[in-house]
Structure 1
Amino acid sequence: MSDWEPTSWKSKPTLQQPTYGDSAAFDEVVQRLGERPPLVTGWEVERLKTQLALAANGDAFLLQGGDCSESFDACRADPIEKKLKVLLQMSLVLVYGLKKPIIRVGRIAGQYAKPRSNDLEIRDGVSLPSYRGDCVNRSPFTSEDRQPRPENLLTAYDRSAQTLNYLRALTEGGFADLKHPENWELDFVTLSSRSDEYHQMVRGIGDSLNFLDVLGGVTRAELSRVDFYTSHEALLLAYEASLTRRAIGRSGWYNLGTHFPWIGDRTRAIDGAHIEYCRGIKNPIGVKVGPSMTPDGLRELLEVLNPDREAGRMTLICRFGASQIQSSLPPLIAAVQSSKQPVLWSVDPMHGNTITTAEGIKTRHFDQILDEVRDSFAIHAQHGTVVGGIHLELTGNNVTECIGGAGGLSSTDLATAYESNVDPRLNYEQAMEIAFQIAGQARGS
Structure 2
Amino acid sequence: MNQTSQSSNIDIGWSPSSWAAKPIKQDVVYEDRKSVDRVLAKLERLPPLVTPAEATVRSYLIIAKRPRSKPTEIVDGKEIPSFRGDNINGFDPLERTPDPNRLTSAYFHSAATLNYIRAQLASGIADLHSPLNWNLGHVQSPSLQLQYQQIVDSITDSLRFMKTVGADTATQLETVDLFTSHEGLLLEYEQSLTRLLRHPANYPGGNGNGRGWYNTSAHFLWIGDRTRQLDGAHVEYFRGIENPIGIKVGPSMEGGELVQLLDIVNPNKEIGKVTLITRYGHEKIEELLGPHIDAVKGSGHIVVWQCDPMHGNTLSTSTGVKTRRFSSILSEVSAALRIHKAHDSYLGGVHLELTGDAVTECVGGAECLTDDDLHLNYTTYCDPRLNEKQALELAFLIAGSYRQDYAVA
| TM-score, length of structure 2 as denominator length | 0.89
Q: 1:237 to 1:304 in 2, by over 3 A?
A: same
Q: Alpha-carbon deviation of 1:340?
A: 1.0
How much has 1:153 moved relative to structure 2?
Answer: 0.3
The 3-state SS of whatever aligns with 2:61 is: strand
- The alpha-carbon deviation at position 209 of structure 1 amounts to 3.9
Residues 68, 83 of structure 2: 8 Å contact kept: no
Say whether 1:15 aligns with 2:35. Answer: no
Q: Is the 8 A contact 1:322 1:369 kept in 2?
A: yes
1:237 aligns with 2:187: yes
2:73 to 121, 129, 135: 121
Report if the CA contact (8 A) 2:337-2:402 is conserved. Answer: no
Q: Deviations over 1:205-256 (max 9, x none)?
A: 3322444455525358642211010000000000000000012345110101
Partner of 2:131: 180
Larger CA deviation: 178-187 vs 162-171: 178-187
By how many angstroms is 1:123 displaced? 2.5
Distance 1:208-1:412 versus aligned 2 partners, 3 A rule = farther
Q: Are the equivalent residues in 1 in contact too, given 2:281–2:332 (CA < 8 A)?
A: yes
- Percent identity over the alignment is 46
Aligned CA distance change for structure 1 residues 344 and 331 (closer, same or farther; 3 Å): same
- Which residue does the alignment assign to 1:363? 323
Aligned length: 383
2:101 & 2:161 partners in 1: Cα distance? Answer: 52
What whole-Å deviation, never above 9, does each CA across 1:26-49 have from its counterpart, x for those lacking one? 111111111101000000011x22
Alignment of 1:245-264 (within 5 A): 245-249=195-199, 250-264=210-224
The separation in 2 between residues aligned to 1:414 and 1:436, in whole angstroms, is: 24
Deviation of 1:429 (Å) = 1.6
Q: Partners in 1 of 2:369 and 2:35 — Cα distance?
A: 46
> Are residues 1:43 and 2:53 paired?
yes
Deviation at 1:122, TM superposition (A): 1.3
In structure 2, what residue type is equivalent to 1:394? Answer: L
Is the aligned partner of 1:402 residue 2:378? no
CA 7–218 in structure 1, closer or farther in 2 if over 3 Å, else same: same
Q: Give 2:166's aligned amino acid.
A: G
User: Whole-Å Cα distance in 2 between the matches of residues 203 and 123 of structure 1?
Assistant: 51
Aligned residue identity for 1:164: L
Instruction: Using the TM superposition, give the Cα deviation of residue 183 of structure 1 relative to its aligned residue in structure 2, in angstroms.
Output: 3.8
Q: Which runs of 5+ in 2 are unaligned?
A: 1-10, 200-209
- 1:15 Cα deviation after fit: 1.2
8 Å contact from structure 1 (residues 181, 206) kept in 2: no
Deviations 1:365-410 (A, max 9, x none): 1111000010000001111111011111111122211111122222
Cα separation, 2, equivalents of 1:302 and 1:152: 33
Change (3 A) 1:131 1:214: farther
In 2, distance between residues paired with 1:434 and 1:214? 34
- 1:115, 1:235 within 8 Å by CA — same for their partners in 2? no
Alignment of 1:255-294 (within 5 A): 255-294=215-254
- Could you tell me whether the CA contact under 8 Å between 1:290 and 1:318 is conserved in 2? yes
Name 2:202's counterpart in structure 1. Answer: none
Matches within 5 A, 1:134-153: 134-142=86-94, 145-153=95-103
Report 1 or 2 for greater relative contact order, CA contacts < 8 Å, sequence distance ≥ 6. 1
Is the Cα contact below 8 Å between 1:41 and 1:247 reproduced in 2?
no
Closer/same/farther in 2, CA of residues 196 and 114 from structure 1, 3 Å limit:
closer
Q: Indicate conservation of the 8 Å contact 1:188/1:407, yes or no.
A: no
Q: Which amino acid aligns with 2:334?
A: R
Report 1:413-428 matches (<5 A). Answer: 413-428=373-388
The two structures have a TM-score, normalised by structure 1, of 0.82
Q: Is the 8 Å Cα contact of residues 42 and 254 (structure 1) preserved in structure 2?
A: yes
Q: In 2, distance between residues paired with 1:271 and 1:6?
A: 16
Q: 1:78: which partner in 2?
A: none
Asked if the contact 1:191–1:406 (Cα under 8 Å) also holds between the matched residues in 2, the reply is no
Backbone CA RMSD of aligned residues: 2.0
- Aligned pairs for 1:46-85 (under 5 A) are 46=56, 48-49=57-58, 52=59
Greater Rg over alpha carbons, structure: 2
Per the alignment, in what secondary structure is the counterpart of residue 316 of structure 1?
strand
